[in-house]
């Protein structure tokens, strides 16, 4: 075996230390990215659930508007029926 000269040996050791530090920094950064992604996913899930609830409530409001429109039409028809029955009472002398 040939022993390396001290300069070459120091260069190899320095290269290995720098590579090790780079690997550690990359691992830490990747872990931070994973944690951030998990946090984002949790927030997106919360927003999704909130959006679904809002959509469900919006559908209910639309149905209530439709119900109110129909109730208004029924009230109009009932009013016409009440007027017609009042006229019938008047024509028959008020006996029912």
State residue 10's pLDDT score: 94
State residue 4's pLDDT score: 77
Q: pLDDT digit string (tens) for 52-70?
A: 998 888 888 888 888 999 9
Q: pLDDT digit string (tens) for 16-52?
A: 999 999 999 999 999 999 999 999 999 999 999 999 9
12: Cβ contacts below 8 Å, ≥ 6 apart: 4
Radius of gyration (Cα) for the chain, nearest Å? 41
95: Cβ contacts below 8 Å, ≥ 6 apart: 89
Given pLDDT bands bounded at 50, 70 and 90, which one contains residue 95? low
Given pLDDT bands bounded at 50, 70 and 90, which one contains residue 96? low
Residue 89 CA to residue 9 CA, distance in Å, equals 119
Whole-prediction pTM = 0.54
């Amino acid at each position: 075996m040939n022993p390396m000269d001290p300069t070459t040996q120091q260069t190899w050791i320095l290269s290995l230390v720098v590579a090790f530090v780079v690997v550690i920094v990359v691992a830490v950064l990747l872990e931070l990215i994973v944690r951030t992604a998990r946090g984002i996913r949790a927030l997106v899930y919360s927003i999704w659930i909130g959006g679904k609830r809002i959509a469900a409530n919006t559908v209910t409001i639309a149905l209530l508007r439709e119900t109110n429109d129909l109730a208004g039409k029924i009230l109009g028809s009932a009013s016409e029926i009440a007027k017609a029955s009042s006229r019938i009472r008047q024509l028959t002398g008020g006996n029912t």
